[in-house]
Structure 1
Amino acid sequence: MSERSSVSELAETLRAELNRYSPGGKLPSSRALVERFRVSPVTVSRALAQLAAEGLVTTRPGAGAFRSRPATVVPATGDTSWQEVALSADGATDAVPRTVDASGLLATLAAAPPGVIAFNDGYLHRSLRPERAMAEALARAGRHPGAWDRPPVEGLTALREWFARGIGGAVTAEGVLITAGGQSALTTVLRGLAPPGAPVLVESPTYPGMLAIARSAGLRPVPVPVDTDGVRPPLLADAFRVTGARLFICQPLFQNPTGAVLAGERRGEVLRIAREAGAFVVEDDFVRRLVHDDAGPLPRPLASGDPDGVVVHVCSLTKVTSPSFRVCAVAARGPVLDRLRAIQVVENFFVPSPLQEAALELVGAPAWHRHLRFVAGELRARRDVMATELARQLPEFEMPYFPSGGYHLWLRLPDGTDESAWASAVLRAGVMVAPGRAYFCAEPSASYMRLSFAGVADLAEITEGVRRLRQAWDEMRG
């Protein structure tokens, strides 16, 4: 049993026994708890600290732990209705309203209740994360001389060099900024490259978090359709010409949500079209390290073949490690780099040095490449089982693209399907999915859903989840 699970179980047991003690009453000593539950003193200390953080117990050095006295809470009776007017008036002069709609993001961040299978998750399940390697890396990083000093605002030089080598081409450490995760990086980039009210071209469908960033900044997302070979260059050129946009945001590798890879013959076309429009291309290279072990050679990032500073490249360690390991890089060339650096400093100062040091320790350890190989094999196996079960159980559903990387499948629902009713039906059946509507900034051509195979415990859970989807579909059809 892991230390973490032992702490959780002991805390749960002590929580259930608190009613045995009167408010202010003393709990058994740490030594007594160690002997009774046959756990380590560290486990006892952490369990009591968890209860203290919940306000259930109070610990006094040298005296022990005591059941907390109930606090007298007086409900607030203020009137917040004035805020509706204030918040509405704040954007009255904006060319485009700065709406903050996180519903698409929350659909993938929502934790599944007990017994519900999480096909909505956008991150690796704990069983796929390198948690031991990350813990060891963080411990080593914390002991580095100067690890707790203020780092350079651009990020540690060695970490910037590591990211630059991964991007390739003419990218060097001098052109890389370290940021606190991909979402933060994309927010910085959009703020730096487009003024409020401006149009920005986005793939359709695309990542809901990108749409949320754009809209909250007062930008106007304009869809450019993708197919199984990525964005369609003629439509991209038309969109630049019609809108006058100076920014295109794309995911050329394992696009979210379709899983498509931008075809080789289109890569140069995209850069040429953007260059002729005097526009930037933001390359969100978010899952390059989640390639499956049956994929062929991957195309290099667009940034590696861009000498003119057209591409602003974003890549992160988060997807392949943990949602809490928020270390990301932004690469750019020319004056735009100075602007992004300034925004980064104003918004965040810098990424904490211990986290950057831990990232260096992690990617430099032998366990790093073992982890990448392990994840590549696991994701391929999970993808294959989910695709096989979907074809067997739900042949009515269409899979436009079969990905060789990433963590999800994109399915088109049968014509006429009510997407909201379907999401409700599958939740009643014990499955959480990501409805497709949130991935479109304009009216979608059909109903879709995204199913993640990375956020569940094992292959058996995938099989059971698809069985429940079949059950929900039968119930919907009545």
Structure 2
Amino acid sequence: MQESSSVVELANRLRGEVDRYSPGGKLPSSRALVERFRVSPVTVSRALAQLAAEGLVVTRPGAGAFRAGPRTPLVAQGDTSWQEVALSADGAADLVPRTVDASGVVVCLAAPPPGVIEFSGGYPHPTLQPEKAMAAALSRAGRRPGAWGRPPLDGLPELRSWFARGIGDTVTAADVLISAGGQSALTTALRALAPPGAPVLVESPTYPGMLAIARAAGLRPVPVPVDADGVKPALLADAFRATGARVFVCQPLFQNPTGAVLSAERRPEVLRIARAAGAFVVEDDFVRRLVHEDSGPLPRPLAADDPDGVVVHVASLTKATSPSFRVGALAARGPVLERLRAIQVVDTFFVSRPLQEATLELVGSPAWPRHLRTLSAELRGRRDAMTAGLRLHLPELALPHIPSGGYHLWLRLPEGADETALHSAALRAGVALTPGRAYFSAEPPAAHVRLSFAAVAGTAEITEGLRRLRTACDEALGAAETVRHTPPGL
């Protein structure tokens, strides 16, 4: 059972027992709860913290947990219906109405219900995260001189240099800004490069979180199709001419969701086309460290081969570490760097210095290269287990491309299939997947689903998840086939 499920179950059981104690009464010790419920001390600690957050218990270090006193009655709810008018009127004059829709992101961020296998996750399973190394890095970082002081606005110089070296020898620390993860960096980049109402070119399909950023900023995402070699240059040039866009957002390495890698032939073409259009390329290099063990040499980031400042590069450590290790970087050249810096300072001031110090401790430790090697091997094993299982048990789900990096597979459903129906059937069968609709900024050419092989505990869980998915496909796709072959009027 996953740790999060154990915490929820223990909190529920303790919640039902709190009333047995009088206000101020002491609950059983943590050791007693560990022995009674056969869970880990961490689970007990987190369950008690949940009850404390709800105001049911009070924890006192060294003394234990106690039932809280009587709670203050809830204040009567007011009438908030007026907000519908205010929020609707807010964007009435916008050229492109702003829409704040996080549904496509929440699917990848929200933990599924207990017992449901997570093929929808956007982050590696805790067993793939360097938890011990991160804990040790945080401990060492907290003792560094000045670790709790105010950091430089652009980020610690040593960390900026580390990110610059990872991009290429043409990038220096002076070109880099430290950000609070990749999502924050993308938000800053789009705000800096495109005014509200402007078109922004995006790959199709593409990352739903980026589409959400664009729409929340009042931008108009315009799709440019990709294939196994990345974005199609001729269509990119056509889109620039047709829209007058000044920004193209792409993921040249292990693209989300297709897993495509921009080919060596297309890389200079993309830069040339953007430069001729007077446009920026936002390069979201989000999974460079999630390369699989059998991958060949990786292409350099586009930013490494860009002397003219066309590329605004976004990098992040989050995917290779933990969802909560939110450290990333923006890299750019020329006047745009000052605009990026100004927007980031206004939005966030700076990234937590202890977290930056911990990042330096982590990536400078012997544990870091060991973790990356282990992660690379594990991802390959899980990818192979999922692809083999799909071919054997679910051949009707088309897998056009097997990536050599990243954490997911992109599957095309049979003609006439309903991905929403499959998603619902899968949840009933006990497996969570990601419907493909959210990855398209316009009408999708077919129904798709994305399956993550990194968010599960291992290959045994992949096998069980595919067994459950077979049941869901029999229900959802079988029903669609019946409807498709039923004569009209019956």
TM-score, normalised to structure 1, is 0.94
For 2:143, the aligned partner's letter is R
Which residue in 2 is equivalent to 1:346?
Answer: 346
Kindly state the Cα deviation for residue 465 of structure 1 after the two structures are TM-superposed.
0.7
Deviation at 1:76, TM superposition (A): 2.6
Cα deviation for residue 170 of structure 1 reads: 1.2
Show the counterpart of 1:245. Answer: 245
Specify the alignment match of 1:101 in structure 2.
Answer: 101
Deviation of 1:114 (Å): 1.0
- Report the CA distance shift for 1:434/1:49 in structure 2 as closer, same or farther (over 3 A): closer
Counterparts in 2 of 1:85 and 1:153: CA distance versus 1, 3 Å? same
Describe the shift of the 1:106–1:33 C-alpha distance in structure 2 as closer, same or farther (beyond 3 A). closer
Which has the larger displacement, 63-72 or 453-462? 63-72
Q: Deviations over 1:180-226 (max 9, x none)?
A: 01000000000000000000000000000010000000000000000
User: What residue number does 1:422 align with?
Assistant: 422
The equivalent residue for 1:315 is: 315
Instruction: Tell me the secondary structure at the aligned position of residue 221 of structure 1.
Output: strand
Identity %: 76
Mapped contact 2:207–2:256 kept (Cα < 8 A): yes
Shift of residue 22, structure 1, vs aligned partner: 2.2
1:27 is displaced (CA, Å) by 3.9
The C-alpha deviation readout for 1:134-154, integer Å capped at 9, x for no partner, is: 000000000001000100000
SS in 1 for 2:403: coil
Unmatched segments (≥5 aa) in structure 2: 480-490
Partner of 2:472: helix, strand, or coil?
helix
Where 1:66 maps in the other structure, the secondary structure is: strand
Does 60-69 or 209-218 show the bigger shift?
60-69
- CA 1:345–1:250 in structure 2 vs 1: closer, same or farther (change >3 Å)? same
Contact (CA 8 Å) 1:283, 1:313: kept in 2 or not?
yes
Displacement, 1:340? Answer: 0.3
* Alpha-carbon RMSD: 2.7
- Contact 1:302-1:311 at 8 Å conserved across structures: yes
- Is contact 1:169–1:303 with CA below 8 Å preserved after alignment? no
Partners of 1:49 and 1:300 lie apart in 2 by 45
Deviation at 1:24, TM superposition (A): 3.4
Note the C-alpha offset of 1:110: 1.7
Q: Given the alignment of the two structures, is residue 286 of structure 1 paired with residue 286 of structure 2, yes or no?
A: yes
In structure 2, distance between residues paired with 1:38 and 1:456: 23
Distance 1:218 1:10 in 2: 44
1: CA distance between counterparts of 2:51 and 2:145?
Answer: 34
Q: Secondary structure at the match of 1:25?
A: coil
C-alpha separation in 2, matches of 1:422 and 1:40: 36
1: CA distance, partners of 2:60 / 2:395: 62
User: Aligned-pair distance for 1:79?
Assistant: 1.1
Q: Secondary structure, in 3 states, of the residue corresponding to 2:144?
A: coil
Structure 2 distance, partners of 1:356, 1:27, is: 39
Question: Residues 147 and 418 from structure 1, CA distance in 2 versus in 1: closer, same or farther, beyond 3 angstroms?
Answer: same
Q: 1:291, 1:404 within 8 Å by CA — same for their partners in 2? A: yes
- Residue by residue over 1:73-96, the C-alpha shift from the partner in whole angstroms, topping out at 9 and shown as x without a partner, is 335331111111100110011010
- In 2: Cα distance, 1:20 partner to 1:8 partner: 20
Which deviates further from its counterpart, 30-39 or 430-439? 30-39
Of stretches 397-406 and 16-25 in structure 1, the one that deviates more from structure 2 is 16-25
Aligned to 2:146: 146
Partners of 1:436 and 1:7 in 2: CA distance? 31
Corresponding position of 1:467: 467
CA 1:466–1:3 in 2, change beyond 3 Å: closer, same or farther? closer
1:69: Cα distance to partner?
2.9
Residue 159 (structure 1) aligned with residue 154 (structure 2)? no
Displacement of 1:5 after TM fit?
Answer: 11
Whether the 8 Å contact between 2:55 and 2:71 is mirrored in structure 1 is no
Separation in structure 1 between the aligned mates of residue 62 and residue 265 of structure 2, nearest angstrom: 71
- By how many angstroms is 1:12 displaced? 7.2
Q: CA deviation at 1:70?
A: 3.7
Mapped pair 1:133 → 2:133: yes
Structure 2 counterparts to residues 76-475 of structure 1, below 5 A: 76-475=76-475
2: CA distance between counterparts of 1:168 and 1:405?
20
**Secondary structure in structure 1 of the residue aligned to 2:329:** strand
Separation in 2 of the partners of 1:113 and 1:43? 17
In the TM superposition, residue 40 of structure 1 has moved relative to its aligned partner by: 11
SS in 2 for 1:426: helix
Q: What is the identity, as a one-letter code, of the residue corresponding to 1:292?
A: H
Q: CA deviation at 1:19?
A: 3.4
Q: Give, in angstroms, the shift of residue 7 of structure 1.
A: 9.1
Q: Does the Cα contact within 8 Å between 1:169 and 1:305 map onto a contact in 2?
A: no
CA distance in 1, matches of 2:364, 2:329: 17
Instruction: Give per-residue Cα distances to partners, 1:155-198, cap 9 Å, x unaligned.
Output: 00000000000000310000000000100000000000000000
Change (3 A) 1:76 1:193: same
The answer on 1:18 being equivalent to 2:34 is: no
**For this pair of structures, how many residues does the alignment match?**
478
- Residues 242/7 of structure 1: CA separation in 2 closer, same or farther (3 Å cut): closer
Amino acid at match of 2:279: A
Q: Tell me: CA distance 1:210–1:38, structure 2 relative to 1, closer, same or farther (3 Å).
A: closer
Distance in 2 of aligned mates of 1:461 and 1:59: 37
**Equivalent residue letter for 2:265:** E
8 A contact 1:156–1:356 mirrored in 2: yes
Distance 2:431 2:35 in 1: 42
Match of 1:56 in 2: 56
Task: Please tell me whether the aligned partners of residues 169 and 304 of structure 1 are also in contact (alpha carbons under 8 angstroms).
Answer: yes
Aligned partner of residue 319 in structure 2, secondary structure: coil
Verify the 8 A CA contact 2:181 2:327 in the aligned structure 1.
Answer: yes
TM-score, with structure 2 as normaliser:
0.92
Which of 31-40 and 136-145 deviates more? 31-40
Inter-partner Cα distance in structure 2 for 1:136 and 1:422: 43
